Structure 1
Amino acid sequence: MKLRSLFVFVVLLGETSIAQVSNSDGDEKGINIADLVEMSGDWFIAYRDGVKQVQADETLPAVNEHTSSFVLKRSYFTLKKDLNDVFSVRYTMDLTIDNEGDDAGNVETRLKYLYLMTKPKLHSKLFTSTAIEVGMVHRPWLDYEQKMNTYRVQDNMFIERNRIFNSADFGLTVTGNIGPKMDDDFLKDVNGVMKGKYASYSLGIYNGGGYSGIEKNTNKVVAGRLTVRPFANSLPQLQVSGYFNRGKGNSEFSPDFNQVLGFLAFTEKQYKLTAQLHDGVGDFRARYIDSNDPSRALKNHGYSFFGEYRFGRSPFSLWGRLDEFKVEEIDERTQRIIGGLTYRVNKMIRLILNTEHTTVDNNTEDTYELNLEISF
């Protein structure tokens, strides 16, 4: 079914009763149609001059190819439906430009999320807001980080940008809080990324190759995140997270894919600061391997810092990011300095002017962009 036909069907189904719903940051996002289905979308459109953008799930090697053009970076279309007070479903289409084969240049459509969620009633004061996703589901990390660093429109987050893993996979994810919910005023006015007052977690088991990768072996990857507020009552803005992957890379040779990640975040209403440190062996698509022995994964490590400052009640924000990533033995080192100025037109539209200075093994490229982000 074409996207246009699906949109018309949903609107007709909902007749005339339409209402806004809110996202986790308190902003209005999504359209509730006659209490039957919730519809939302995210569009990333840009004018880009510089190195061609490379996605983590692309099969072609990353090359420093210069481009200068208007581009559709990504377009997501989501439908959600509550089946009852326990079960719900989600369907998300991912539209992008095909960069490979005879169809290069065409708009390509694929599924990103397609899952059943259940929220069991555990009647526990320790484990609260428990939810289980089954199908094409969220992996435990990137969805969490992207609610603090909201500049996915510019490019992927540090881990995905360096092709360690992506945001979704075939499998099962369990999420929830440890202890009570955070104060509603804080979640609404400051930051709603972690709803647990003291801690939250996400744990799952996955095929390992990502939502766009066919399974090439019989191994599974186990991944998990634990986030805590060490000073929940006196300094709730501070969050500390740990994350891990343990399994095999998605190839017939099954090289190791093991990773640990440490993350520190301080989120105020006017500004956000994050820092992360990654150390691992291999990756989800088995790219970082010994060229003479594809069953042996290579060590890799790196770090990333991000900051954003909002100018009071004005629509302007200033933000920046610093990354470094290295693959051992082949001495492949990538450094990135990213910065930009944001103008928020309203709660659903942003204009983002940014630049990126990237150095890969002493070869430097500068990229300049004007991004239009539409989120509804």
Structure 2
Amino acid sequence: MKKVALSALAAAMISGVVSADALTLYSDPKTGQVYTTPGEGRVEMGDFIDAKTVDLQMRDMESKGSEYQEKMKKYVNVKSKAKTLEFSGTHYFGLTSNNYGSENYNGGDKSTGFELRRNYLQVKAYFNDKDYFRVTMDTTKELESSTTYATMYAKYAYLYLDEVLPYTGVEIGIAHRPWIDYEEHNSWYFRSINKVILEDKFSVAAGASGASKNVGPDVLNSADLGVNFKTKTDYFSSELGIFNGEGYHADKAANNQQNSSDLSFEWRLTGHILGNGTKVGKYKRDQDTYANISFAGLSSKNHKDNSVVVDDAAEYDRNAYWFHFVYNQPEFLIAAQYDVSKDEVQRTNAETKLKMWSVNAEVRPFQDWTVLARYDNLKTEYSNDATKNANDVGDADQFIYGIAYAYNKNVNFILSGKTVDAKDKSAFTRVDATTTTLGDALDKQSYMLTTEVKW
């Protein structure tokens, strides 16, 4: 280390000496005499410094080399077989106030508290300029979550190999599923305040005897064990994946493969009307103009909810598809989608179909400021239960609105609100034994103050 440091300093200091104190010499090829001035027939020999100056400079260099060594003692050596290690983080911290229930029963329940909605710590180990292994660890605690505080788990852990096929790379491991990451990086940029509609649970109501009910699609999440082929060209991009099917944080549902060899096939096909498909996922929404139209979906056999045990009668097949459009220019964004999801219970053939549509928009009236809004509509149809259909079980509207300020390139502040209007007219018993309709219990008004940090 010392020799390396001294060599670096020597190069710098000697170059400084040559430029400042050098003496240019000339020689006469015929006589061999050396001169300090140019003249007829004389050839320049180069720049020279005297031995005394070199000795003084070397002593100064050694002194500075010692100072360099002292500074280096403050750092820790990192050893890796990777060519490059890239560290990053994403953090969503917020204060949330929730008000549940309609005025029909004294305004319902209330809760206020701080949330750690996302806390990603990530490292990419690059083997060359494009191939890498990524690990993303997450600790999350939301106000309504029942999980242990700050439980850490692996959100992503996959190998990425570039150009395994023309214009196509592949993720292998706990990888991106084809849809959620696309929507969050191209049309709905505010994951810190709310999930996209397909992943969302609009509202949750606590009931008697520990029972709880929720409304919201909750069709898929963002990552799962499997492989995902990602293609990018100017006018077309796609993701084609095969996964276990229940997602990266499933509990009992993770046992799906214990009694089945069925997997989930998932896809996204996107046309880029303005020809900038190679930038998908890396757009700068306040600078770029793009227009994308997508068709996506999944076919998941032998699916299970997180609460379902292996070999349970509630195992079902899930098939879903959706269409999505987004247009963005520096001044505004508009996006819309229509989604259909159908679950068919294997042992009874009973079907539950979700039909939903969502539209969201941004307006950027001033530099660093964004006004945002979103509307979600959900309808649920039951093939063998007329009572549920009559009571509008599973039907709901959701409104999201807010204003965001980009403090700098790393920090955003967002003030937002959310209103859930649940339509369910069936009876529901609250924790305090009060009986109301489930729609009243699931009605919700939330206000959030959010800090986003990315580095």
TM category, shorter: 0.7 to 0.9
Give 1:142's aligned amino acid: I
Structure 2 equivalent of residue 310 of structure 1: 364
Structure 1 equivalent of residue 60 of structure 2: none
Correspondent of 2:219 among 149, 152, 164: 164
Counting only pairs closer than 5 Å after superposition, residues 1-376 of structure 1 correspond to structure 2 as: 12-13=76-77, 36-50=84-98, 66-85=110-129, 87-97=131-141, 106-120=149-163, 122=165, 127-128=166-167, 130-148=168-186, 149-161=188-200, 162-177=217-232, 196-213=233-250, 214-217=254-257, 218=260, 219-230=262-273, 232=275, 237-248=290-301, 249-250=303-304, 252=311, 253=313, 254-282=315-343, 296-312=350-366, 314-329=367-382, 330=388, 331-361=393-423, 362-363=439-440, 364-376=443-455
CA contact (8 A) 2:273 2:290 kept: no
State the 1:295 CA deviation: 6.2
In structure 2, do the counterparts of structure 1 residues 244 and 13 end up closer, same or farther at CA, with 3 Å as the change threshold? farther
Q: Unaligned regions of 5+ residues in structure 1, if any?
A: 1-10, 16-33, 53-63, 178-195, 283-288
Q: What is the TM-score with the length of structure 1 in the denominator?
A: 0.74
Higher helix share: 2
Moved more, 64-73 or 254-263: 64-73
State the 1:237 CA deviation: 2.2
Q: Unaligned regions of 5+ residues in structure 2, if any?
A: 1-74, 101-107, 201-216, 277-287, 383-387, 424-438
Give the secondary structure class of the aligned counterpart of 1:267. strand
Runs of 4+ aligned structure 1 residues displaced above 6 Å come to 98-101, 292-295
CA contact (8 A) 1:115 1:135 kept: yes
Give the secondary structure class of the aligned counterpart of 1:159. helix
State the 1:271 CA deviation: 1.4
Give the secondary structure class of the aligned counterpart of 1:12. coil
State the 1:74 CA deviation: 1.6
In structure 2, do the counterparts of structure 1 residues 51 and 375 end up closer, same or farther at CA, with 3 Å as the change threshold? farther
Deviations 1:149-173, CA, capped at 9 Å, x for gaps: 1100002111000210000000000
Give the secondary structure class of the aligned counterpart of 2:94. strand
Give 2:363's aligned amino acid: Y
For residues 230 and 76 of structure 1, what CA distance do their matches in structure 2 show?
Answer: 33
Give 1:48's aligned amino acid: T
For residues 38 and 337 of structure 1, what CA distance do their matches in structure 2 show?
Answer: 38
Give 2:230's aligned amino acid: T
Decide which structure has the larger Cα Rg and report it. Answer: 2
In structure 2, do the counterparts of structure 1 residues 360 and 175 end up closer, same or farther at CA, with 3 Å as the change threshold? same
For residues 368 and 289 of structure 2, what CA distance do their matches in structure 1 show?
Answer: 25
State the 1:121 CA deviation: 5.5
Give the secondary structure class of the aligned counterpart of 2:407. strand
Give 1:243's aligned amino acid: A
In structure 2, do the counterparts of structure 1 residues 359 and 120 end up closer, same or farther at CA, with 3 Å as the change threshold? same
For residues 156 and 238 of structure 1, what CA distance do their matches in structure 2 show?
Answer: 22
